Amino acid sequence: MEQVASVLAPWIRRVSGMYINDLKALPVDAFTECPGGCARTPQEYTGEVAGMNFVTSKLVSGEISEFPMGADRPEPKLPATVEEGCQMISASGEALASAVETYAANLGNMTKAPWGEEMTLAALANVAANHIMYHDGQLTYYQSLKGDSEMHWFD
């Protein structure tokens, strides 16, 4: 699992940075705006991404043994500002990447994903990285709807 950790941890850091760059490029008024009147706000899914990263890091480290569900599942903390959102993504991405590196021996252990599927902790950590990218895609699409066609991932 050391090889998995040596690839996955840097990728988590990279996609976290890409998300942060896109979040910084989003017009400030768009952070809490509900696109189309029914979509989730960037503020909401930024809180969700950070929460998923933190919970997954706790699973990988062995701090908790299962994904909190139902009444045990905490509501995602919503960042008040873009800056706070960037800090949350940075801290949660680093927590997850560090857990993957530090507890690489745990990555083969089985866990249950929030949707009930049994998978290894390595697979769940990979899902968390993909989750960052999924919501980053929403950010980049929303930027384009606001008239920004630039690619900000590597700013």
* Residue-level pLDDT at 131: 97
Neighbours of 83 (CB within 10 A): 12
* Residue-level pLDDT at 68: 83
- CA angle, residues 133, 45, 121, in degrees to nearest 5: 55
pLDDT cut 70: percent of the chain above it: 100
Sign of CA dihedral 80, 21, 7, 131: positive
* Residue-level pLDDT at 28: 82
d(CA 131, CA 90): 15
Instruction: Please check the confidence at residue 1 and state whether its pLDDT lies above 90.
Output: no
Mean model confidence pLDDT for the chain: 92
96 near 56, Cβ under 8 Å?
yes
33-88 pLDDT, tens digit each? 998 888 899 999 999 999 999 999 999 999 998 888 777 777 778 999 999 999 99
Per-residue pLDDT band for 13 (boundaries 50, 70, 90) equals very high
Structural domains of the chain sorted by starting position, each given as residue range(s) with its CATH number in brackets: 2-145 (1.20.120.450)
* Residue-level pLDDT at 151: 81
Sign of CA dihedral 119, 124, 126, 130: positive
Per-residue pLDDT band for 116 (boundaries 50, 70, 90) equals confident
User: Taking the chain, what is the end-to-end CA distance rounded to the nearest angstrom?
Assistant: 32
d(CA 15, CA 32): 22
